[in-house]
Structure 1
Amino acid sequence: MKSKVETLPNYRIAYMRGVGPYGPANIEVMEKLKKWAEEKNLLTSATLFAIPQDNPETTLPENCRFDACIVISKDYQIDASICEGELPGGKYLIFEVKHTAQDIQKAYADIFPFLQSLGYKMDDKPILERYIGDMISNPYCEICVPIKAGKV
């Protein structure tokens, strides 16, 4: 697997949450967020994140949380139709993946053994799927795995 280490800053985000089994419903939440962002003229140079908040192996499918997020500036005033939050920065191991269900599943299956083979330990933050620039309209995303500062 091809990867790179990147230090992400803290991001202020606007987000929408879906609760339920991961799958097609996640796409609906992301499309709803993109529609909101487009109405606010925020999509032109946007960074979007998809964040599966729970591990479906340890959380019942009906309780799995999924957040669709867009990075917003510190001074952007949000309205009551959307939630606001902050993504914590830090070191992340970044993988570029074709954004199909099959490729994403394979990437998630391969990431953890690959992480161990490099000697990294995962930090206690959610894994992020990042979409930047052309990635918003193209079928690729970056899976950002939080890692602890030093190698194991």
Structure 2
Amino acid sequence: MKVEIKVLAPARVAYMRHVGPYGSSGIAQLWQRFAGWCARQGFMQPRRLMYGISQDNADLTPPAVCRCDACIEVDADFRPAGEIGVQALRGGRFACVGFSGTSGEIHGAWVRLCDWLPDSGFQADEAPPVEVYGKDFAIDAETGAFECELCMPVRAL
């Protein structure tokens, strides 16, 4: 596993939330609905960075109430409505690793990143982990596979 320490810039993001187990098919459905909403808003041309934010620790929170947000960068003039909210993505130092696979496989990749932490000279910082989706983000319609970067907020020991 090749982990890189990166500084992510803070961002203001619009989001749509899924409540339920991480890794479930509901997450893929959330992204499909969110991508449609983004396209209707004109956010896909030109593409903007998109983020997935897991708001809860799945080891501590019952799966039925875990919150996952699909997000896209928006400017200060954007006003939320309906099921769309706005939140601040905290910037700072993150341990990041590339991921390629399906929503069912992403939990294992997060576990491997957490297993890397104890001998790294870093500790987890108090902010939710972030999945960063590039401007060319796409989900393979046949396999459900996608690529992103898993980013855990860290601070030095």
TM-score under structure 1 normalisation? Answer: 0.89
Deviations 1:53-97 (CA, angstroms, capped at 9, x unpaired): 112221111111111111112233444451111111111111111
- Structure 2 counterparts to residues 2-151 of structure 1, below 5 A: 2-22=2-22, 23-44=24-45, 45-101=47-103, 103-136=105-138, 139-148=146-155, 151=156
Q: 2:50 touches 2:135 (CA, 8 Å); kept in 1?
A: no
> 2: distance between equivalents of 1:80 and 1:104?
29
Name the residue aligned to 2:143. Answer: none
Deviations 1:8-34 (CA, angstroms, capped at 9, x unpaired): 121101001111122111111111111
TM-score under structure 2 normalisation? Answer: 0.86
SS at match of 1:57: coil
Question: 1 or 2, which has the higher helix percentage?
Answer: 1
Taking structure 1 as reference, are residues 121 and 26 closer, same or farther at Cα in structure 2, changes over 3 Å only?
Answer: same
Q: What amino acid is the match of 2:150? A: I
SS at match of 1:39: helix
> 1: distance between equivalents of 2:42 and 2:106?
29
Taking structure 1 as reference, are residues 65 and 9 closer, same or farther at Cα in structure 2, changes over 3 Å only?
Answer: same
> 2: distance between equivalents of 1:103 and 1:62?
19
Gaps of 5+ in 2: 141-145
Q: 1:30 touches 1:50 (CA, 8 Å); kept in 2?
A: no
Give the RMSD, CA atoms, in angstroms: 1.7
> 2: distance between equivalents of 1:136 and 1:7?
24
Deviation at 1:4, TM superposition (A): 1.4
> 1: distance between equivalents of 2:3 and 2:91?
18
Gaps of 5+ in 1: none
SS at match of 1:69: strand
Q: How many residues align?
A: 150
